[in-house]
Amino acid sequence: MDIELTKEDDAFRAEVRRFISEKLPRELAERETVGASGERGALRRWQKDLHEKGWVAVNWPRQYGGTGWTPMQKHIFNEEMAAANAPRLSPFGLSMVGPVIYTFGNEEQKKQHLPGILSGDVWWCQGYSEPGSGSDLASLRTRAVRQGDHYIVNGQKIWTSYAHEADWIFCLVRTDETAKPQEGISFLLIDMKTPGIEVKPIISIDGLHHLNEVFFTDVKVPVTNRIGDKNKGWTYAKFLLVNERTGIAGVPESKRKIAHLRKIARQERLGDGTALADDPAIMTKLSEIEVKLTGLEYTNLRIVADEVAGRPAGPSSSTLKIVGTEIQQALSELAVEAVAFYAMPFQREHLMGIANEAPVGPAYAVSVTSAYNFGRAASIYGGSNEIQRNVIAKAVLGL
Ligand SMILES: Cc1cc2nc3c(=O)[nH]c(=O)nc-3n(C[C@H](O)[C@H](O)[C@H](O)COP(=O)(O)OP(=O)(O)OC[C@H]3O[C@@H](n4cnc5c(N)ncnc54)[C@H](O)[C@@H]3O)c2cc1C
């Protein structure tokens, strides 16, 4: 693989750094460091700045408002954003449904939905999973029955991240009960304000509200909100999942976390006053994770080089997802170990970024336990790691 950076790549990196130093609000970057979730208004302003610069849709083609960047430029951009603690923009519009709409949607749908996704004015959520239909997604039972120009949708979705904040949901629905499971599914875009939609919170193990159940009772959805052909939703759903998994790997974010952990290790002391950074036990663990991450980074770069040569990532995104999430979980475990008893207090206001007094312990300790707890989900969402191993066995190894 050829991963030499050109002079243009170096100049591009400098430009990205300049933009970040001028535009990224310090307050937003600091929140990311302590792990607090960003407030919607601040995130929206950050997205607007990126949008004005034309940098919001890194992976989209230029004709739809994307950057048109080379795979290497995208890689550099993601690295610099993560290194600067820039908050990740919500992936549901930009990385998931946006590409489905510009690839399989009609002109009307592109006109209606792409501008709001780019500007950040319209937030999306993902309605795939149902009780009993997670790994076995094709067994989903939410039904859409056609009545004239509308579908009448009935059923339930679960684990719907940020449905309580979303304006629209993209849903997999069953439109043919008689066909094979994969062949009777359609892909619908549904306005969350439509009567008959009820969102119920699920409070996760970190004590916060990210997840929901979404119930549909006789929800009337125009047929024009269907993407592509009836019963072909599975094709669009799989296309979307490849993008989702590649994003979950989070190599640059893990690199930042390693650097952050090294900083913590220089500040934290053992009982005898020795700096944690001089403790071989913990530093060996950190180095082992770093070695694994370097391996993953080169796998990622190999995929980037393949893309430059016109060979798309496809099922190799499953490898990135497995190793990337294993690294994230190992890092969050080490962070708990590093801050020791400061991992104990549950400081909800600080986690939500709404506290008005100083935290117990150092600011970097506030979110380590919630990140550790919620991080267990990384090997489950986007398709569990066991399922990714099945994908690799079939599609990569041909077993
Ligand atoms: C934090 C979080 C956020 C999520 N956000 C969303 C969202 O926004 N939208 C959405 O639609 N979904 C979302 N999900 C749902 C997620 O995609 C599913 O949880 C996931 O696909 C697993 O499905 P399941 O929970 O039904 O588990 P199950 O499918 O019941 O699996 C249970 C266990 O069995 C294993 N298993 C199942 N089948 C096999 C097999 N064939 N071979 C080997 N092992 C197997 C699994 O790996 C897992 O360990 C989210 C989940 C979490 C935890």
Cβ count within 10 A of residue 154: 16
- CA torsion 305-311-317-318 (nearest 10°) is -120
C-alpha to C-alpha distance for 368 and 344, rounded to whole angstroms = 9
**Test site for ligand 1: of 381, 389, 390, 399, most ligand atoms within 8 A of the Cβ:** 381
135-189 residue pLDDT tens: 999 999 999 999 999 999 999 999 999 999 999 999 999 999 999 999 999 999 9
**Test site for ligand 1: of 135, 139, 325, 389, most ligand atoms within 8 A of the Cβ:** 135
Which pair of structure tokens corresponds to residue 207?
């004590």
43-80 residue pLDDT tens: 888 999 999 999 999 989 999 999 989 888 988 998 89
Cβ count within 10 A of residue 293: 22
291 Cα: distance to centroid of ligand 1 (angstroms) = 29
Give the position, in ligand 1's atom list, of the atom nearest the Cα of 162.
8
**What stretch of H or E contains 152?**
strand 150-158
Which pair of structure tokens corresponds to residue 69?
């960047």
Q: Comparing C-alpha atoms, which of 203, 233, 218, 221 is closest to residue 137?
A: 233
In 207-247, the DSSP E strands lie at: 209-222, 226-227
* Closest residue to atom 48 of ligand 1, CA basis: 384
Which pair of structure tokens corresponds to residue 20?
């970040």
Cβ count within 10 A of residue 397: 8
**What stretch of H or E contains 40?**
helix 40-53
Cα 367 to the center of its chain, rounded Å: 19
Q: Is the CB of 60 under 6 A from ligand 1?
A: no
For residue 39, what pLDDT is reported?
67
Describe the chain by its helix, strand, coil percentages, rounded to 5: 55, 15, 30
Which pair of structure tokens corresponds to residue 346?
């549950």
Which pair of structure tokens corresponds to residue 272?
């005898």
Residue matched to tokens 């535009």:
23
207-223 residue pLDDT tens: 889 999 999 999 999 99
- Where the chain has pLDDT below 50, the residues are none
For residue 101, what pLDDT is reported?
98
- CA torsion 293-296-297-300 (nearest 10°) is -160
Q: Is the CB of 381 under 6 A from ligand 1?
A: yes
